[in-house]
Copies of this chain bind each other. A is one copy, B any other.
Amino acid sequence: MNCAIFAIGNEILEGSITDTNSTYLAKHLTDLGFKIVEIKALPDNKEILVDNFTYALKNYDLTITTGGLGPTFDDLTAETVALAANREFIFYEDVYKSIENKLAVRGVKIKESHKHQAYLPKDAILFQNDKGTAVGFCVENSGSLIISLPGIPYEMKHMFENYVVPFLKNRFDLKPIYKKDLKFIGIPESDVDEAIINTEKSDDTEVIINTSKGMIIVRIRSYNYEKLMAFAEKLKDKLNKFYFGEDDDTLESVILKKLIAKNITISTAESCTGGLIAKKLTDIPGSSKSFLGSIVSYSNDAKNNILNVSKETLEKFGAVSEECCKEMLTGCKKIFNSDIVIATTGIAGPDGGTKDKPVGTVFVGINMKDKVFIKKYLFNGDREAIRERTANIAFRNLLELLSE
C-alpha cells in the first residue's frame, strides 16, 4: 500500500515552521503497514495543489494532507481536492451548524468567512474535529483515497487517532512491518557499519544506520518478526559494550528506569543548562519516583545563597570553574539529600566568553555515593547546541557510572 503525505502551507516552504505533522503521520502510517513513498511540502497555490492531488489520485493508494482547512482566504485544500477529484464543491449545512455551535461556546462572533469551512467536496466521508472547527474529509477516485486533516497538530492527531485509524484499518488489508531500533554510544559509526556488514541477515530484513547527538541508531525492519529479532540479538551481542537502549529509549529514560528500579533518587543544580536537565528528566512520565528537584542557580547570588557556594570560590575561580561545580554538588546534595546529584556550570554564549574561558567552556559534575566526578568540556556550536550537549554528556557520564 503506497502512501504520500503532503503538508500544505507557504510557511513550511519558507522555513518559518518545521513540519512535525508529517513525521507523526509517517510513523503511524508505517506502523499500520503503509509504505510512505513521498513526503512533500506544498504551497498555498491553487494550481500546484490541483496538480499534486491529481498526480496522487493516479499514483498512490492513499494520500494524507495536513493544513489549508482554516477559515481564511489562503486555505485552499478542500477546494483543490474537489477540483482534482472532479467533485462539486458544496456547502454542508450540518457542518456549518456544528461550527456555529462551537464558535458560540467560545464566544466568537460568527462571520461570513466562517462559512468557508463548511464548503467541502460533494459526497465526502467526514471526520469530526473534537478539538477545533475544521472537519477532516476523505474522497475516493477509482480506488485511490485523499484524506485531508487540519494543520494544527493536536487537532490533527486527535482526529487521526480516533477517526482516521479505525477507518483505514477497516478499508485496507494491511500487513504490518516489524521494527526494532538498537541504540549505541561511545563507538564510531564505521565500526557499527562493519559489524552490520559482517552479521548474517535475511534478504527481507532492511537495516539503516543513523547518528544523532553522539549516539548511533541501527534501525532494523522486516515483515518477518523472528528474522528481525534474530538479527537484532546477534548485533546486540557483538556490540554489547556500547549498547544502551532500544526503540523509544533515550539516555535519560534509560537512566530513570535504572534509578527507579534500584530506588535511587536524583537532583540537579543547574547554571548554564538553566533547567534543561530537569526538563528532560521530567519529560518522562513517572520521573517523580526518582527525580526530587533542581536548583537553577542562574546568578552568583543564587549560587551563594541557595547552594552555599562560597563567595571566595566565586571571586577567586569564578562561577565557571571546577571548584564552583564541586560546591554546587555539595550544596544541592544537602538540600535534596538525593543519592545522585548532577551539577552544570558553563558559558553557553553568545556573550560572556573570555580568552581563558571561551564560549562553550562547561564543567559537568556528578556526585554519586559521595564520590565526585567533574569533567571540563569545550563544546562547539551555538547556545542551544552547547546547552543540549552539556545535558547529554551529563546523562552519558552518569550512565557510565551506573553501569560500572
Residues of A within 8 A of B (CB): 9-20, 22-30, 36-41, 43-44, 70-74, 103, 106, 108-109, 111, 113-114, 131, 152, 154, 179, 181, 188-194, 196-197, 206-212, 217, 219, 221, 268, 270, 273-279, 281-283, 285-288, 291-299, 301-302, 305-306, 335-336, 348-351, 380-381, 383-385, 387
Contact = CB atoms under 8 A, between A and B. Distances in A.
18 contacts: A11-B210, A12-B39, A14-B179, A16-B27, A18-B20, A38-B41, A40-B41, A72-B190, A73-B196, A74-B208, A111-B190, A113-B190, A268-B296, A274-B278, A285-B349, A291-B298, A294-B295, A294-B298
Contacts of A270: 275, 278
| A-side interface mostly | mixed
Contacts of A301: 292
A380 B131 contact: yes
Among A71, A179, A190, A385, the one with the most B-chain Cβ atoms within 10 Å of its Cβ is A190
Among A16, A196, A383, the one with the most B-chain Cβ atoms within 10 Å of its Cβ is A16
A44 B181 CA distance: 17
B380 A154 contact: yes
Contacts of A287: 274, 298
A19 B11 CA distance: 15
Given A40-B38, A293-B298, A349-B285, A24 B20 contact: no
A209 B113 CA distance: 14
A13 B26 contact: yes
Given A15-B23, A208-B44, A285-B350, A296 B296 contact: yes
B383 A212 contact: no
Q: List 8 A-B pairs, minimum CB-CB distance, nearest first.
A: A274-B282, A15-B27, A275-B278, A15-B26, A275-B275, A294-B296, A293-B302, A39-B41
A254 to B, nearest CB: 18
Contacts of A15: 22-30, 36
A190 B26 contact: no
